[in-house]
Amino acid sequence: MTASLKLISHKLCPYVQRAVIALKEKGVPFERIDIDLADKPDWFLELSPLGKVPVLVVTTDRGEVAVFESNVICEYIEETQGGAKLHPADALTRAEHRAWMEFGSAILGDLWRLETTTDPATFESKRLAVAAKFARIEAALGVGPYFAGNAFSLVDAVFAPIFRYFDLFDELTEHGIFRDLLKVQAWRAGLAQRPSVRTAVGADYPQLLRAFLVRHDAHLLKLAA
């Protein structure tokens, strides 16, 4: 049964990028529709119970099904599409990967506060929290270039959008989050070269992210002086 895939997304959302990367790694054709999360269309709210992106709309001869939550979408893509495997075959290793995917989501929670806070003390506490989490990752990484060595996985799809934030953050301040984390630095560099990662966002992503920080009057911007 052939299914057509439509991904409802937002240009800045890191969770959307996970799904885009997974689809591109699989070589799966899909339609991408970007929406404005500040003015969500009614048709989107009917599709998404949580009112969040991404939503993968799967259309088959049996009708249309909306799959929501990024990790659920990535798992569906892995289970139903051909191409390279993005999860390990071993059940325990696969569970370990899923756990690290959740760890990536925890980092995104800290990053949200880091990039939107106007308060210097909150910024510093979140900077330290993110640095501590990446120190844990440093201890878990092997020889690279990816999380599981030579095999690109869904863990990589989760962390690539996290690292993308720092392309701008590095321009704004010496945050020191990756200092002395040589394996993390190498992982970041390897992911940045991956075609699926590079093309998961548009060319306007850096400008949109900077505008987002301006709208939030982010403390991070004040460090750029």
C-beta separation of 46 from 35 below 8 A = no
Predicted pLDDT at 19: 98
What is the domain range of residue 156? 91-222
What residue has token string 């439509």?
Answer: 6
Last residue of a domain, one of 57, 80, 103: 80
pLDDT tens string 179-211: 999 999 999 999 999 999 999 999 999 999 999
Question: Helix 91-116 vs helix 70-80: angle between axes, to the nearest 10 degrees?
Answer: 150
pLDDT tens string 14-38: 999 999 999 999 999 999 999 999 9
| Lowest-pLDDT choice from 10-14, 37-41, 221-225 | 221-225
Most distant CA pair in the chain: distance in Å? 57
> Is a pLDDT exceeding 90 seen at residue 1?
no
Write the CATH number for 32. Answer: 3.40.30.10
Q: How many domains does the chain have?
A: 2
pTM given for the model:
0.96
pLDDT tens string 73-112: 999 999 999 999 999 999 999 999 999 999 999 999 999 9
Judgement on whether residues 175 and 101 belong to the same structural domain of the protein: yes
Give the active site residue among 12, 13, 57, 67: 13
Amino acid at position 66, single letter: A
Judgement on whether residues 122 and 168 belong to the same structural domain of the protein: yes
13 tagged catalytic? yes
pLDDT band at 3 (very low <50, low <70, confident <90, very high): confident
Predicted pLDDT at 224: 76
